[in-house]
């Protein structure tokens, strides 16, 4: 939670330190890997961000229900890549990612996409 709070406060250097320490202890945390890639990108450390994205892809396993795809969508939303944001959100929902109180329309990371037709289609995927 500390890293996420620092991220939303745009204190990327501090968030980076917290996330690196956290992932050193538990490298398989999906959301935190994505958040570190975002923080690296926001700090101008593109090669580190790309390395973190590769590490995130390597975390794919059976029965994750779209968690990696959702995390990738969060990354792409932060770099304003609408095409990949929607692509990975659609993959995540198709793989079974749940509509939760902290996901999709409730995830502030996707705020820029809330009013788009593509995002609306994702919210209606199971209806």
Residue 32 in contact with residue 15, Cβ under 8 Å? no
**Whether 54 and 65 share a structural domain:** no
The enclosing domain of 3 has a CATH number of 1.25.40
**Whether 3 and 28 share a structural domain:** yes
**Whether 49 and 74 share a structural domain:** no
**Whether 45 and 29 share a structural domain:** yes
H or E element that contains 14: helix 12-25
Sign of CA dihedral 58, 4, 37, 72: positive
Domain that holds residue 53: 1-59
The pLDDT of residue 104 is above 90: no
pLDDT digits 0-9 by tens, 43-83? 999 999 999 999 999 999 999 999 999 999 999 999 999 99
Q: How far apart are CA 71 and CA 87, in angstroms?
A: 12
**pTM for the full predicted model:** 0.90
**Whether 31 and 55 share a structural domain:** yes
User: How many domains, in total, are found in the chain?
Assistant: 2
Lowest mean pLDDT among 44-48, 95-99, 109-113: 95-99
């Amino acid at each position: 939670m500390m890293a996420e709070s620092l991220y939303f406060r745009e204190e990327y250097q501090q968030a980076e330190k917290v996330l690196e320490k956290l992932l050193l202890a538990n490298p398989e945390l999906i959301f935190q890997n994505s958040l570190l890639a975002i923080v690296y990108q926001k700090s101008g450390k593109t090669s580190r961000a790309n390395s973190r994205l590769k590490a995130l892809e390597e975390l794919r396993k059976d029965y994750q229900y779209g968690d990696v795809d959702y995390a990738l969508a969060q990354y792409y939303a932060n770099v304003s890549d609408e095409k990949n944001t929607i692509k990975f959100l659609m993959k995540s929902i198709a793989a079974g990612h749940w509509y939760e109180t902290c996901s999709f329309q409730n995830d502030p990371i996707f705020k820029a996409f809330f009013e788009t037709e593509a995002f609306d289609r994702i919210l209606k995927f199971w209806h």
